[in-house]
Structure 1
Amino acid sequence: MSASLIVELRQYTLHPGARDTLIELFEREFVTGQEAAGIAVGGRFRDLDDPDRFVWLRAFPDMASRRRSLEAFYGGPVWREHREAANATMVDSDNVLLLRGPGFVAVDAEVRATVCHPPDAAAFDAYAARHLGPSQVVHRTEHAVNDFPALPVREGEDVRVWFNGPEELPPWRSQRLRLARV
């Protein structure tokens, strides 16, 4: 994938026992439906620490493409036909980070994603130089205005996200996601 995509890291909280229902629907209808609208669907995961969480990524070439593709998908026949079934599985679908980075496609069965809130770019760059290698696929917050407000994103945060880095967490507020590929 390109070195500068717009990436959404989406973490859905689901009703108890609904994860497999959503995953089956997602894989059957929403992957190809989104791809037809110009969306690159990346990793799709079960959260190993929360049986009621589904985590996934999707990418767009830029913000204008994101808006057009989201309008096409959410205004199109696939979402119209299956949205009620999908929404019935969800408690919350608004835990979304809007990022800029190279995208991510899962190749391993299990993945560790780290979401880190460094105090500033220089501190993170120094940490990354010591602890992260070229395979860590680092993403940074995209601070552009969310121009598709029907799908909220987390605002007012400056995060770094990477995959399969070191076991220890960085010295700042961080979240580790242990994920199994769908």
Structure 2
Amino acid sequence: MDPHTIFELRRYRLLPAGREALISLFDREFVEPQEALGMRVEGEFRDLDDPDSFVWVRSFKDMQTRTEALASFYSGPIWKEHGPAANATMLNSDNVLLLKPAAGVLPFSHNLPRDREVSRSEVPGLAILNICSLAPQAEEDFARFFRDNALPAMQAAGARIDGLFITERSENGFPRLPVRQGETVFVWFEYHEDQNSAAGYQNRLRQNPIWTDEIYPQMDGRCWRRIEVARLTPTSRSLCAW
């Protein structure tokens, strides 16, 4: 599978009761046409704590490929036919972070190939999305600290880390789809078998005095606000699953 270097973390705020309609439409009409243009739909999720939120991640080989693929898709017949119905479920679709991988973890390496998706009988798992808001230009230093200190502790406690990401600062080549510019973030995805597994992991992590007394306080102290955490469950077509 070709390595992808650009990732979009997209979080949509939907109208009440709009999420299932959007997921059904998305899975039926939008997955294959995007991937035929070189995009990869890495994961689709429901937010457990917000019934009106749909979260998904797509990736691209590079920024030029992103610009060309988005221009082709959003000017093409599939979006022309089904885009209005998708937009009708949404209050806002502009909460988008443009990201690139940070060293230490190959992004979404546990994802199934798309051609094996249909063989699954269920799509289990719980993804924890974590977003750290940082001072300008601080992401590389934060990523090094995380990779060298936090990552080993998390993995020892039983988390599967599916990706570490930092802000991609290239100009948005497709301004028709806005992204959150001028922000500095570090993002990590962790994955667990279920909520009980995630709770057990948290208990083990808190029992590590190096984590509670040194690692987490240093991480938290570098963030401009509390680390934003979302609990996500995969949809039936999400490649990111347990």
Q: Give the TM-score, by structure 1 length.
A: 0.91
Correspondence for 1:178: 231
Counterpart of 2:167 in structure 1 is 141
Larger strand percent: 1
Structure 1 pair 35/127, CA: closer, same or farther in 2 (3 Å)? closer
Kindly tell me the number of residue pairs found equivalent between the two proteins. 182
Offset of residue 3 of structure 1: 5.8
Match for 2:186: what amino acid? R
Q: Is the 8 A contact 2:4 2:59 kept in 1?
A: no
Q: Which residue of 2 aligns with 1:130?
A: 149
Greater C-alpha Rg: 2
Question: What is the aligned partner in structure 2 of residue 160 from structure 1?
Answer: 186
Structure 1 residue runs of 4 or more that deviate by more than 6 Å after TM superposition: none
CA distance in 1, matches of 2:143, 2:61: 25
Measure, in 1, the Cα distance between the counterparts of 2:167 and 2:95. 14
What's the CA shift for 1:118?
3.4
Q: Cα offset for 1:117?
A: 1.8
- CA–CA separation in structure 1 for the residues paired with 2:4 and 2:79: 28
Structure-2 change in CA distance of 1:3 and 1:130 (3 Å): farther
Question: CA 1:39–1:112 in 2, change beyond 3 Å: closer, same or farther?
Answer: same
Query: Given that residues 2 and 103 in structure 1 are in contact (C-alpha distance below 8 angstroms), is that contact kept between their aligned partners in structure 2?
Result: no
- Alignment match, 2:65: 65
Contact 2:38 2:69 in 1 (8 A): yes
Partner of 2:29: 29
Alignment partner, residue 79 of structure 1: 79
5+ unaligned residues in a row in structure 1: which ranges? none
Higher helix fraction (1 or 2): 2
Please give the alpha-carbon distance, in whole angstroms, between the structure 1 residues aligned to 2:88 and 2:125.
Answer: 28
Q: Aligned residue for 2:97? A: 97
How far has the Cα of 1:123 moved from its partner?
3.9
Amino acid at match of 1:176: V
Letter aligned with residue 179 of structure 1: L
Q: 1:132 aligns to what SS in structure 2?
A: helix
Q: Tell me the CA shift for residue 99 of structure 1.
A: 0.3
Deviation of 1:108 after TM superposition, in Å, equals 5.2
Percent identical among aligned pairs is 45
Given that 1:59 and 1:103 are in contact with CA atoms closer than 8 Å, whether structure 2 keeps it comes out as no
TM-score, length-normalised on structure 2? 0.69
Q: 1:123 & 1:162 partners in 2: Cα distance?
A: 12
Deviation of 1:130 after TM superposition, in Å, equals 1.3
Deviations 1:38-90 (A, max 9, x none): 21111100001100000000000000000000011101111010011000000
Let me know the Cα RMSD of the aligned residues.
Answer: 2.2
CA-to-aligned-CA distance 1:12-35 (integer Å, 9 cap, x gap): 000001000000000000101111
Give the whole-Å Cα distance in 1 for the aligned partners of 2:54 and 2:12: 5
- Matched residue SS, 2:187: strand
Counterpart of 1:11?
11
CA contact (8 A) 1:139 1:162 kept: yes
Q: Unaligned regions of 5+ residues in structure 2, if any?
A: 113-122, 192-200, 207-215, 236-242
Alpha-carbon distance in 1 for matches of 2:124, 2:167:
25
